[in-house]
Structure 1
Amino acid sequence: MMNEIFRLRTAMQRELQRAQAMLRRIALQPVARTVLGHDATAAASHDTLPEQEAHRVSATPAKRSRDLFELWHEFEFCLNGGNPAKEFTRTERGANKFAYSRRKVFWDIVTCLVRSGFTSDTAIDKIYAVYGRQRSVTAILVDLRQAMKRGGHPSLRV
């Protein structure tokens, strides 16, 4: 009787984790966001209403990504409403040089796999198959960087 209860409990926990992972992926889907601001000179003169203009939030990469899917969405669509990482200017890349250079190896591999016909999710799953799902994002990025110095992992070459 107790074994059945424990088995049911673990099955329910597993299903809940799957649902949470799916919700996280859905939440990361791209949405066009703009921030409405106002012109400082128009606000200083009380004669006119402040004009609202749409502008993009400055580029700042996420501090810590939970998984590679989140990292890819940061590259393609951006997580916090700013510029996606693929559209960073030279100065934005320089301001975030450490994080950008670490992640660029991963982004280049996924981009190459997508160009060769894989979907982005399949490409990321291939990377997880090579390096393991239990490993941290940082450990996978370090291994990808070391493998690229040696010509790349054979399973990820196109």
Structure 2
Amino acid sequence: MASEHSSLLSVMGMGVWRGAPYDMMIFLAGLAGVDRALYEAAAVDGASTWRRLRHVTLPALRPVFWILFTLAAIRGLRVFVEVYVLTNGGPDGSSEVLMTLVYKLGLQRGELGVAAAGSIVLFAATLLLTVLVRLLRGRETG
């Protein structure tokens, strides 16, 4: 991890590796919930496999994609373990994220007020993202 360019890529790779099984379980649960009668009706109408995927499966999985998007964005905002274990924010701060900054300021330097303010900013960003996705999803279904 000596390169500034590869440090963030390694952190992202570890995050994907860590979150993929959880996301896949949610995705598979969504696939299990797709009504099989829709596939049968599409097959009777002569739809190809590609058309069934495009017009039946993907629209049925839209709520699952919204949930996965929201969870991935929140995980991205709250990433700490990967950065701390792999790079500790280095080299030269190239993989520094808000969570590691809050940790360093609050627990290593003792600047609790600044660390608390960073935590509030992180909470506000998470809340705003969740509310925004919820509103967009509500608009789409309504």
The TM-score with structure 1 as length reference comes to 0.26
Indicate the structure whose relative CO is greater, using CA pairs within 8 Å and at least 6 residues apart: 2
Structure holding more helix per residue: 2
